Homo-oligomer: A and B are copies of this chain.
Amino acid sequence: MTSSSSTRRREATVADVAAEAKVSKAQAARALGGYGAVSDDVRTRVLEAAAELGYRPNMLARSMNTGKSQTIGVVVGDIENPYFGLAMRGISDTAKRAGYDVVLVNTGEDHASEVDAVRVLQDKRVDGLIVAPALAPDSTHLQAVVDSGRPLVLLDRRIRGLDVDVVAAQGEQAAFDATRLLLAAGHERISYISTIRAAGQPSDGGQGLGLTPVAERLAGMKRAFRHEGKEFPESLVRLNAGPEDNIRRIVASLLADRDRVTAIVASDSVIALTVLEELHAEGVEIPADLSFIMFDDMPWTRILTPPLTVVSQPVYELGAASAGVLVSRIRGEAPQPVPEFPAQLIERESVGPPPATGR
């Protein structure tokens, strides 16, 4: 007759189990924890007692003396962004398989938030951290993680001077390919739009971008222009584009310009959505009036009219790899080289020749 009252009854502890099984606390703990030397007889008695009492280990207590929490911390800018949603699944799947739980903190791309999150996670004694850092001049909070000896893996963004594993897609070549596609179709007035919070001038085209995917892609685009002997239109690069209504404004002004852009490259799927909405609202036809390429091959890009030409990144795999690398670091295994994840241009139908210049 178990007392199934709804009040939280005291949970059974190792001591309780030990008493019930008539062995010492130490032996019960060994049997329960699966370590040390235990005779079959004792083990079965302990396990039976445990089952009867509904014993469940207190992981906090266990973590306290082992120093391992079997938990990894993940800090991202925006889980709502499908990019991170997918990456998160990769992380989660991999972590779970290795016996780790994941505590997720969303920073809203805010640096102070990120600093705080990293600290809190360390206070909670996570065994390792995966951070997709916001662009910021200061990375002492991450350096502190490294100094503390806790494994840290950077996702999607490298940080200068921080010697840790980084898992990110390589976008330079794909950006090069995408730009060549555009150039070949006859475009030169190409705009790249990103919400990245870059330091410095809004359109300084690469300064203050650090080692971000955006910087890489811009480099790829420039190389493509150089390759054709043409000049990259720095002035059409739009960073710090968020939030939504600002993106709309940017698109509108890009279109209103006397020297109109003929192609737009969107930095991710969230920004792409807003750009497309604004284009729609302005009655701009793709690709007749404007060519369009976006990063991330979201499922919906295939069912648009026309289907969108995109640069796809193996996002799930990036997440999975970051967790994989982190886990092996936690376990102190030999530092495997982080695999490469090249982004890839997928041609569909949103790129065409620029409109006849009928201004």
Decide yes or no whether A38 CB sits under 8 A from chain B: no
- Name A3's closest neighbour in chain B (CB-CB): B147
Q: Which B residues are CB-close (under 8 A) to A42?
A: none
Q: Which B residues are CB-close (under 8 A) to A121?
A: 101
Report yes or no: B124 in contact with A105, Cβ–Cβ below 8 A. no
Report yes or no: B71 in contact with A123, Cβ–Cβ below 8 A. no
Alpha-carbon separation in the docked complex, A123 to B80 (Å): 28
The listed residue (B80, B89, B146, B304) touching A304 by CB distance below 8 A is: B304
Report yes or no: A60 in contact with B6, Cβ–Cβ below 8 A. no
Report yes or no: B69 in contact with A79, Cβ–Cβ below 8 A. no
Alpha-carbon separation in the docked complex, A209 to B277 (Å): 37
Surface stretch bound by B, among A173-181, A295-303, A346-354: A295-303
Distance in angstroms from A41 CB to nearest chain B CB is 27
Known: A59-B124, A102-B104, A148-B8. A277 touches B304 (CB 8 A): no
Q: Which B residues are CB-close (under 8 A) to A149?
A: 6-9
| Residue of A9, A149, A303 with highest tally of chain B CB at under 10 A | A303
Decide yes or no whether A58 CB sits under 8 A from chain B: yes
Alpha-carbon separation in the docked complex, A88 to B120 (Å): 19
Known: A57-B123, A79-B89, A101-B124. A303 touches B303 (CB 8 A): no
Q: Which B residues are CB-close (under 8 A) to A104?
A: 88, 92, 102-104
Known: A105-B101, A147-B4. A56 touches B89 (CB 8 A): no
Report yes or no: B150 in contact with A8, Cβ–Cβ below 8 A. yes
Number of A positions contacting B (CB below 8 A): 57
- Name A148's closest neighbour in chain B (CB-CB): B8
Decide yes or no whether A230 CB sits under 8 A from chain B: no
Report yes or no: B302 in contact with A277, Cβ–Cβ below 8 A. yes
Decide yes or no whether A122 CB sits under 8 A from chain B: yes
0/1 interface trace, chain A 149-161, chain B, CB 8 Å (1 if under): 1100000000000
Report yes or no: A80 in contact with B69, Cβ–Cβ below 8 A. no
Known: A79-B92, A89-B79, A92-B106. A59 touches B123 (CB 8 A): yes
Decide yes or no whether A115 CB sits under 8 A from chain B: no
The listed residue (B79, B102, B106, B148) touching A103 by CB distance below 8 A is: B102
- Name A124's closest neighbour in chain B (CB-CB): B59
Interface residues in A82-126 by Cβ distance below 8 A to B read 82, 85-86, 88-89, 92-93, 96, 101-106, 119-125
The listed residue (B7, B303, B305) touching A273 by CB distance below 8 A is: B303
Decide yes or no whether A1 CB sits under 8 A from chain B: no
Alpha-carbon separation in the docked complex, A147 to B54 (Å): 12
- Name A275's closest neighbour in chain B (CB-CB): B303
Decide yes or no whether A61 CB sits under 8 A from chain B: yes
Q: Which B residues are CB-close (under 8 A) to A22?
A: none
Which residues does A use to contact B, with CB under 8 Å? 4, 6-9, 11, 56-61, 63-64, 69, 71, 78-82, 85-86, 88-89, 92-93, 96, 101-106, 119-125, 146-150, 273, 276-277, 280, 298-300, 302-305
Provide 17 A-B residue pairs closer than 8 Å at the C-beta atoms, listed in order of the A residue.
A7-B149, A8-B150, A58-B123, A79-B85, A79-B89, A79-B92, A80-B86, A82-B82, A82-B85, A88-B104, A92-B105, A92-B106, A101-B121, A273-B303, A277-B303, A300-B304, A304-B305
Which A-B residue pairs are the 4 nearest by beta carbons? A8-B149, A300-B300, A85-B85, A103-B103
